[in-house]
Structure 1
Amino acid sequence: MEAVLFDFSGTLFRLEEHPSWFDGVHDADGTPVDGAGAAELMRRMTAPVGETVEFDDATRHAWRNRDLDPALHRQAYLHVLAQSGVTDPAHAESVYGRVIDADSWTPYPDTEAVLKKLAAESVRVGVLSNIAFDIRPAFVDRGLDRYVDEFVLSFEVGHVKPQPEIFRHAVAALGVDPAVTLMVGDSDEADGAAQEIGCSFALVDPVPTAQRPDALLKALSAFGIR
C-alpha cells in the first residue's frame, strides 16, 4: 500500500462524553441526563448512517445534508437533542458545542502509533471525514498533524461518503492510485464505498477507546503494513 485513508469519528478518534458535559441537563420529564442516557445521546449524534430519531421534512433534509453545511449540521443536531429529551435550548446548545469542539474528541490508543508508523514508511496518509466542522485542531493539539498529508472534509469539498467523488478527490489529493490505497473506517456503507473506485477497505468497530487498544494496527497488519 502506498496510501491509507482514515475516517475520523469512530476510527481515529471518538466522541466520549464526560459527566461534566451534562451538569444540570435534564430531559423533558426532569430526569437528569447521565450515565447510559448520556452514552445513548452520544450514539445518536455520532451514528455514521441512518436516522436515530423522528424527523419532519425540514429536519430530515438537515440531517441528510448535515455534513455539507455547518448551519444544517447545527439544525440537525439540535433537533436530535430535542427529540432525545433535551428540550432546554441552553442545555442543547451546550451539548452541541461539545460535539463540534475538536478538543472534546479522544484518540484511540493506537492512533498515534499508526500515524507514526505510516510516516516512517513513507506511506501517504489522508483523513477523510463526513463532518461539518474543522477537525484539524484535534490533530494539531496532540502533535499528530505532522503525520497527515491531506484532510478531506465533506463540508469543504462538497461531497460526502459514500459518494465516489469524495474518494476520488482524496486519492487525487494524495497523488496515488486507488489500487494502492487502503480505506480504514467504521462503516461498511459509508467507508466501504471506497471499494467502488478500487481502494481496499478495512473495517474497525467504533467501540469506546478503552475497549479497542490496537484495532488500527491490526487493520494495517492485515494489509501487509507491520
Structure 2
Amino acid sequence: MRTDSVIKAVLFDFSGTLFRLEEDDSWFDGITVDEKAVDGLVQAELMRRVTAPTGSSVPMSEEQQHNWANRDLEPHLHREAYLHVLRESGLTGDDAAALYPKLVDPASWTPYPDTAATLNGLRDAGIKTAVVSNIAFDLRPALATAGTAADEYVLSFEIGAVKPDPVIFETALARLGVEPADALMVGDSEEADGGARAVGCAFALVDPLPTAQRLDGLIAALRAHGLHV
C-alpha cells in the first residue's frame, strides 16, 4: 500500500459500506405479503425498508416511532421496530417473526468484494481502522468470516449513541488515539456517516449498490483521499 496522505485512521460504516444484507430466496419460502407469494420486486422493497439508514417507511404510532428511532440502541427495541415494519408491509405476525432472525444474523451479510483487501491493506500500512455502526447486534463474526477485522468496533448498542451523534465518532477516535483531522470516515449515508465532518474528520461517500455491482468502491474512496491499497 502507498499513501500520499496524512490520514492515520479510517472509520467505516458497516451496512451498505463494508457489507450488504442481500436476501436469499429461501428466506421467503412459504411467506406471503398481503396473502400473495413474494416475488422479486416485493423482496427488494422489503429489503429496502429494513436496510434504509435513516427515515421510516411505514405508518407508526408514537410508541412505534420511539422504537424505530432507538432501534440501534437496544436489541429488544430493534426487534419490535422491525417486526412492525414487516407486519405493516403485509407479512403476518408469524412470517415477520420467522424472517427477522435472518436480518440480524451476521452470516446473512455479504462483504463487498474489496472489504477484506481494504481493511487488511490498511492494517499492513499501519493505518488504524474502526467499524462505526448504528446496529443492534454484534457484527464482529461477519468480518471474521470474511477474513478480516478492524482495530476497534464502536457499535451503537454497545456505547449508547447513534450516528450522527458526535459521541460515536469521538469514541472511535479516542479508542484509536487519533485526532479528527487525521481520520477519514467512509459510509453510505450523508446524514448519518457524514456527521463525522462535524467533529473534524474527512468524509467519503460510497454507493450502497448490490455487492456484485460495486467491485472497488472502498478502494476508490480511499484513493480519493490519498490512500492506495
CA shift for structure 1 position 93: 1.3
Residue in structure 2 matching 1:187, options 170, 186, 189:
189
Show the counterpart of 2:56.
51
Show the counterpart of 1:94.
98
Partner of 2:195, secondary structure, is helix
Show the counterpart of 2:221.
219
Does 2:107 correspond to 1:103? yes
Residue in structure 2 matching 1:144, options 124, 145, 148:
148
Opposite residue 96 of structure 1, the aligned amino acid is Y
Q: Could you tell me how far apart the structure 2 residues matched to 1:33 and 1:65 are?
A: 29
**Counterpart mapping for 1:12-161 below 5 A:** 12-28=18-34, 30-87=35-92, 89-145=93-149, 148-161=150-163
Q: Could you tell me how far apart the structure 1 residues matched to 2:166 and 2:146 are?
A: 31
Partner of 1:60, secondary structure, is helix
Opposite residue 123 of structure 2, the aligned amino acid is A
Q: Could you tell me how far apart the structure 1 residues matched to 2:146 and 2:49 are?
A: 27
Q: CA RMSD in A?
A: 0.7
TM-score (norm 2): 0.95
**% identity of equivalent residues:** 58
**Counterpart mapping for 1:201-212 below 5 A:** 201-212=203-214
Q: Could you tell me how far apart the structure 2 residues matched to 1:142 and 1:27 are?
A: 33
Residue in structure 2 matching 1:178, options 158, 180, 200:
180
Q: Could you tell me how far apart the structure 1 residues matched to 2:63 and 2:158 are?
A: 23
Per-residue deviation, residues 110-167 of structure 1 (Å, max 9, x unmatched): 111111210111100000000001111101222212xx10000000000000001111
Partner of 1:78, secondary structure, is helix
Opposite residue 78 of structure 2, the aligned amino acid is H
Deviating above 3 A after TM superposition, structure 1's stretches of 4 or more consecutive aligned residues are none
Structure 1: give runs of 5+ residues left out of the alignment. Answer: none
Structure 2: give runs of 5+ residues left out of the alignment. Answer: 1-6
Residue in structure 1 matching 2:170, options 151, 161, 168:
168
Q: Could you tell me how far apart the structure 1 residues matched to 2:39 and 2:87 are?
A: 16
Q: Is the 8 A contact 1:19 1:34 kept in 2?
A: no
Show the counterpart of 1:6.
12
TM-score (norm 1): 0.97
